[in-house]
A and B are shown apart, each in its own frame.
Chain A
Amino acid sequence: MELLFLARDGDSAAFGELVRRLARPALAVAIRVLGDHALAEDAVQDAFARLWREAGRFDAERGSFPGWWRRMLMNCALDARRRLKPVQPLELAAEVADPAAGPEDAAHSNGIAALVQAAAASLPHRQRAALTLFHGDGLSMAEIADALGSTEKAVEGLLLRGRAALRDKLEELRGVER
């Protein structure tokens, strides 16, 4: 928090330290949401640029810094996904989003996480975001709703549908693997 206050006064060294602390978890979340390393890197870069520009807008009385930052990051990640849309249909984009983690590659991969990442590639990005925040960061429905600019009810639906679709896809991939 102190680093943020220094950063908003123009302290680039404090901002650099803040970026070093936030970069790794932010990139991991963005990769899970977007399923593409290059897109995720750009989204995190955008989020940090926004953080630097808009540090002065943070109001501690209206919420915590982690929640504010998470919302900023999610907005950038979901925007990156939207930018991808006009170039190719979403279904196709999902299939090619993570070329290193296609069904065949994942089948040969020994990591269960890589297999789930391949399965998750077919899920809509908001479902992936909800799953990531719920299972990865252990956030509550209200916190996820806040990060995604949605309602708790909608997040509940995203999680239910996301889990069901992920399970189906995982079973399908396991079938390919055997």
Chain B
Amino acid sequence: MMRKDYSESEFEAAVEAWAKTDFGDDAAIGRIIARTEKLAETAMPETRTHARHGWRKLVFGVGIAASVAVAMLVMPGTDPKTGMKQEVSFIEAEENGTDSDETVDSFALLYTPTMEEELYI
């Protein structure tokens, strides 16, 4: 049943004919046009997105600027008087006596006031 008798040029011509044939019928095209016109009368296209993209860019930019501002406030900077970089370390904090008192801490952990004591206070 299988016959290998399509020459290259014959095959090319056949494919070209197929690819360029107008298979559509006028009735179908008429229906498409009618339905599309009806759609265009009843609905509006989406608003232009260029403006919307502009808003997105603006919101994004403001967000980034706010993040940078917060980061600058939170991070230790340079002392304007000495020009030294301000750094915070736990060792430094302990040396300055800013750390909590261990005895008070342990007492606070052990001592739990009773209901009456709380009322008195």
A residues engaging B (CB < 8 A)? 7-8, 10, 12, 15-16, 19-20, 23-24, 27-28, 31-32, 37, 40-41, 44-45, 48-49, 52-57, 59, 111-113, 115-117, 120, 131-132, 134-136, 163, 166-167, 170-172, 174-176, 178
Tell whether A135 pairs with B33 under 8 Å between CB atoms, given A31-B24, A52-B45, A170-B14: no
Q: Which of B19, B47, B48, B50 meets A132, CB within 8 Å?
A: B19
Please, what's the 1-or-0 string for B1-20, where 1 marks a CB less than 8 Å from any CB in chain A? 11111100001011111111
In the bound complex, residues from chain B placing their C-beta under 8 Å from that of A56 are 45-50
12 A-B pairs with C-beta separation under 8 A: A12-B37, A15-B40, A27-B32, A48-B39, A52-B39, A53-B43, A111-B21, A116-B14, A116-B18, A120-B18, A134-B19, A172-B1
Tell me the bound Cα distance from A111 to B18 in angstroms: 9
User: A55 contacts B36, CB within 8 Å?
Assistant: no
User: B15 contacts A45, CB within 8 Å?
Assistant: no
In the bound complex, residues from chain B placing their C-beta under 8 Å from that of A178 are 3
Tell me the bound Cα distance from A169 to B54 in angstroms: 53
| Best-surrounded residue of A12, A32, A53, A136 (most CB of chain B within 10 A) | A12
User: A28 contacts B23, CB within 8 Å?
Assistant: yes
Tell me the number of A-to-B contacts counted with CB atoms below 8 Å: 130
Please, what's the 1-or-0 string for B31-60, where 1 marks a CB less than 8 Å from any CB in chain A? 111011101110111111110000000000
In the bound complex, residues from chain A placing their C-beta under 8 Å from that of B5 are 171, 174
7 closest Cβ pairs, A-B complex:
A136-B19, A116-B18, A135-B19, A27-B24, A12-B40, A113-B21, A56-B48
User: B23 contacts A31, CB within 8 Å?
Assistant: yes
User: B36 contacts A49, CB within 8 Å?
Assistant: yes
Tell whether A167 pairs with B45 under 8 Å between CB atoms, given A28-B22, A52-B36: no
User: B15 contacts A135, CB within 8 Å?
Assistant: yes
